[in-house]
Structure 1
């Protein structure tokens, strides 16, 4: 059984050069092709745009460029430029920015200058004038930048920006092909991402080293560590029995349904990362205890349990604003660009029905596509019960394992809120808390390092680290924006530029991009483009909030690749899944989800309307 497990992960495979040569050749062909004008324009926007816009805002407010004004004046212009990039065009949003926000975007600041900047905007610039300056700055960056007007140094930077986009697009082809075919071990692909970026000059060697250790990577690593502690102490057995002991017939179909019914609604309010990490050891335990001498291995059962956990996490996020950064991003865009607010309960009223409908649909598809030989998990539950009886009462290690876990979960739920209200002097992040919990298990004597070394799939940690860099490169170079803009421009002559066809285009683009990068940046890349188009063809109608919500929902459709979401990567650590298993479920559910959100818009959302706004 161990050999097949290794084979499933692909770690025992050597590089298949017959396949690998294809993405390598394609990569270099893309780099050798002439740079399209649209790519040059976006490269200019991303590399030179911030400097030009900051100077423009400074000249409008203070009559001189940002290099010739006082520090507080330069700070004002840089803050406005950063707000403009985020789609936050209103004076109200500017006045809400504090020192933490400014430092987050690496803008040099001190308290005295920030007070002066806010004071000046508050007392000297009306809401209307502020909005007009921001709109003019946005048009300058997106429409009116002219390559011929740039200085030689700026032209060099613009050319560099276009080159980075081209490298990112070539890397998309290389990485997606490698992930789908496993022509080389997947952690090796993750390291190739960093090497490509360094050799091509997109990032420096010191920058790429930092990118491999983001908070999300720490979370994946810490969560796999605490899963190892659960397995060693037997806490996973107790939690599994607590969940499923009431089932009269513990059939695998009913157990996967419980996964969906429990996990998906929770994912609207709780981090999907945490839920996947919590349920992974339970799913693995159910599988391992189901095997018998007659059926020593059932790959379909293992895959069905693991994919059910990942999909249950993925479909739940759209249900509430707290289900992901994508939701808050689109709510903010809608408010800042058009002055329309969506409340927390209002979002749930519109989007939770999507989750409710997706639960049975996804469960049915998972049960249709996977055909396990073992269908009854009754023997597994009996074996589990006997194991727990042998354990007796909760022992010291199990109690420590649960206490540390509960402290971690509390930290995950509260760290952001506690930082915002000043209880925590620094932002911890869920990754730091996860690793702190892993270290706490060591300090409490629950595990030793050998347990982590042998039970944690370190390849998955590096795999997700590469995925984070991949997504950030698409976002920060402007490659994702260029892809979205190019596709929308191409489809516009086909009648896809208004109404439900425009929404379908937006959702489809977002749903493709979110499989390659984090959901927030995917929504941020497509959202401003399609919202602006929506405001032109359907101004002041329900189409605007509906477009914002549908884009946010579509950014959760990362069903197809291991790198799509943290839950996908976490369940891959079980060793039972291959990349094609994600496609097996992900492709049909990707189409189902896209169709469902359009039907939801046409029937449910349009039926109840949105306040007093006229229908589109």
Structure 2
């Protein structure tokens, strides 16, 4: 609050309007509150909403309209689906299916965990899959040894396979994370004009997003296991004893029930809907329809969704997107973009590959201090204006920002998946630093390589 009050007293910089200064101040204060969390994060959302009315003089009805976009509906529906999927408790069956395919070698099991976590997380969100797969990892650890000290490195490899598998997969599809939906919303809000056919390329649908981002996720998968095994040396190279115990537990549970098959069927219908009709009716509508289907079939109760969904997260992303739109409308985003370019110019990083690298580094730094969704919500309007000012493709810069926001490997709070596996008690905060810097370096190089070699074939 003190920082905000001081900023509002500063002389108005050249090229920035009074409204732009107010919005910029709101963004800085919101970022500080995101990082330090002196109040619950949904409180920040409420403050953003009120500030738009009180400080900018925007009609409250118009502020309310800006909060409910298709991107916000999509985030809300995805969180509802996450609760429905976790409710089915398929963790032991997933573990058994996994080891039947991979065998008992520790390295192959870890790769299998990364692949399974990744493929699932790319469609239903990393926090959901991390919550589903954590019991799988803990089951394999405890069946190997009841003494955590004897499986210290094994636990690190197994659990970080889940966390990083989920993190790298979150970029794969729009439903992989809120940050993806936020960037899609920004492209539409900033660049789409229904009267101009040339701007229809900024309407990024489910399949088009996958064409850009999914190859990066797939290329990273085998290297996750390699980097983890080079950093942590597991005590056991074969997990046969744990697999035998796991098989016995699955046999006790018996065959899959009708509700299990129905849940799988509904999820595939939702996935097909995202791929085929989301460009016509919106990804948010498909997600809400899916959540309604789980409720109608009785696979989940409203009480479960009401208690399981973090409604504060929905409010937070809605307010962040609304603030991002005001960053554009008041010219604050353009002013920051031009200032950012001026700083990069002496370094030769104000265009082309240098700009890509600078945007990626900035996003990676920010996303390791706050949630990746919040990072994209804050940086999105700025980097898209940077792209326009530098005559770079906003689609390329937008994808680099969204994908780099997944490189939160260094801290426990960087991604929901890292927070969830850390909560198991098997990991230390230093474990994330030990392996995280290697993951950041590799992921950044791979993304820039794909952007240089592959993306031009997609017409950008």
Superposition TM-score, scaled by structure 1 size: 0.54
In structure 2, relative to structure 1, the CA distance for the partners of 1:467 and 1:300 (3 Å cut) is farther
Query: What secondary structure, in the 3-state scheme, does the structure 2 residue paired with 1:246 have?
Result: helix
Question: Which residue of the other structure, out of 242, 245, 254, is the alignment partner of 2:108?
Answer: 254
Deviation at 1:473, TM superposition (A): 5.2
Q: CA deviation at 1:190?
A: 1.4
Residue in 2 that maps onto 1:468: 317
* Cα contact 2:49–2:319 (8 A) shared by 1: no
Is the 1:289–1:380 Cα contact (8 Å) retained in structure 2? yes
Partner SS state of residue 424, structure 2? coil
Q: Deviation at 1:414?
A: 0.2
Alignment of 1:298-377 (within 5 A): 304-316=157-169, 324=180, 326=183, 336=198, 354-369=216-231, 376-377=238-239
Question: What do residues 19-54 of structure 1 show as CA deviations (whole Å, max 9, x unaligned)?
Answer: xxxxxxxx413431344645x855x4xxxxxxxxxx
**What is aligned with 2:424?**
576
* Alignment: residue pair count: 428
Report if the CA contact (8 A) 2:115-2:221 is conserved.
Answer: yes
SS in 2 for 1:291: helix
- Residues 519 and 195 (structure 1 numbering): CA distance in 2 closer, same or farther, change over 3 Å? closer
C-alpha distance in structure 1 between counterparts of 2:73 and 2:408, whole Å: 21
Does the C-alpha gap of structure 1 residues 466 and 350 become closer, same or farther in structure 2, counting only changes over 3 Å? closer
Could you tell me which runs of 5 or more consecutive residues in structure 1 were left unpaired when the two chains were aligned.
1-26, 45-158, 179-183, 535-543
Identify the residue that residue 404 of structure 2 maps to in structure 1.
Answer: 557
Higher mean alpha-carbon deviation, 581-590 vs 548-557, is at 581-590
Work out whether 1:245 is the aligned partner of 2:100: yes
Find the aligned partners of 2:44 and 2:203 in 1 and give their Cα distance: 40
* CA shift for structure 1 position 556: 1.1
Pick the structure with greater CA Rg.
Answer: 1
Confirm whether residue 378 of structure 1 aligns to residue 240 of structure 2: yes
Cross-structure match for 1:191: 42
SS at 2:404 equivalent: coil
1:471 Cα shift? 3.4
Matched, 1:498 2:354: no
Q: Deviations over 1:206-236 (max 9, x none)?
A: 96899699435534542442244222xxx33
With over 3 angstroms needed to count, the CA separation of the structure-2 counterparts of 1:407 and 1:520, relative to structure 1, is: farther
Q: Distance in 1 between matches of 2:137 and 2:175?
A: 30
Note closer, same or farther for the CA distance 1:553–1:168 as it changes in structure 2 (3 Å cut). closer
**Equivalent in the alignment of 1:122:** none
Aligned CA distance change for structure 1 residues 193 and 306 (closer, same or farther; 3 Å): farther
Offset of residue 588 of structure 1: 4.4
TM-score by length of 2: 0.69
Distance verdict in 2 for CA 1:362–1:482, change over 3 Å = farther
Residues of 1 paired with 2:206 and 2:259: CA distance? 36
Pairwise CA distance, 1:466: 6.0
Measured after TM superposition, the shift of residue 262 of structure 1 is: 4.8
Alpha-carbon spacing, 1:363–1:486, altered in 2? closer, same or farther (3 Å): farther
Aligned alpha-carbon RMSD (Å): 5.2
Question: Shift of the alpha carbon at 1:386?
Answer: 0.8
- Pick from 36, 41, 63 the counterpart of residue 177 of structure 1: 36
Residue 147 of structure 2 corresponds to which residue in structure 1?
295
| 2:88 corresponds to which of 230, 241, 254 | 230
Mapping of residues 68-87 of structure 1, within 5 Å: none
1:218 paired to 2:76: yes
Q: Larger RCO: Structure 1 or Structure 2 (Cα < 8 Å, ≥ 6 residues apart)? A: 2
